[in-house]
Chains A and B, each alone.
Chain A
């Protein structure tokens, strides 16, 4: 296993279009997280799953955002009706369940909305 994998690495889309990103976590990790990072800022928490259950969503996650992890393995993050303010790096991370197991991040998907 080579770590957390995210696809695509880059996505350019026009305002108003829908986009979907995929994350494949480290196989034995039960928890999966989505973060967003904009220039000059640290990653901001969006949502997280334990197995297939979405346990928490940040208020940053507007109604246009939806995340799924249907079989408790890979996850998708969809943004509907994209806006220029959605341009950011979207990071996925995974971790084990126990204690404060550190998050292992993927290399992210950079979204540019024109």
Chain B
């Protein structure tokens, strides 16, 4: 069962513009959400997280928004840079071990 969904397999944006990656989840018991970035031939790298008690977390160019009523979170990258081109995975945690990942969105930032 796909409890975490990233419905856009790919996204292309121009350098300097905002990138918005979206993620939807179905299980209201998830209490922590994370975004990972993955380059080819490397494992996923932790990017930013948000607790279910918050609706926004910001770290430099990266901001994650959580809308619990809609069971939706998004990652905003502004300004986007060519080095941000990667696959981005949304993940949700239920307890310590039960981390569910979305299928990923491939972001391409064009110079």
Interface of A toward B, CB cutoff 8 Å: 4, 6, 31, 33, 40-45, 48, 55-56, 91, 93, 100, 102-108
Give 10 closest A-B pairs by Cβ, nearest first.
A42-B101, A105-B43, A102-B46, A100-B32, A48-B97, A107-B43, A56-B97, A105-B44, A43-B101, A42-B89
Do A42 and B103 have beta carbons less than 8 Å apart?
A: yes
Residue of B nearest to A3 (CB): B43
Main secondary structure of the interface of B (DSSP, over half): strand
7 A-B residue pairings within 8 Å (CB atoms): A40-B104, A41-B103, A42-B100, A43-B89, A45-B100, A102-B46, A105-B44
Known A-B contacts A42-B89, A42-B91, A42-B103; the reply to A105 vs B97 at CB < 8 A is: no
Counting contact residues on chain B (CB < 8 A from A), the size range is 20 to 34
Do A42 and B102 have beta carbons less than 8 Å apart?
A: yes
Residue of A nearest to B41 (CB): A107
CA distance A56 to B89 in the complex (A): 23
Q: Does B34 contact A (CB under 8 A)?
A: yes
Do A104 and B46 have beta carbons less than 8 Å apart?
A: yes
Instruction: Name B33-80 residues within 8 Å CB distance of A.
Output: 34, 36, 41-46, 49, 51
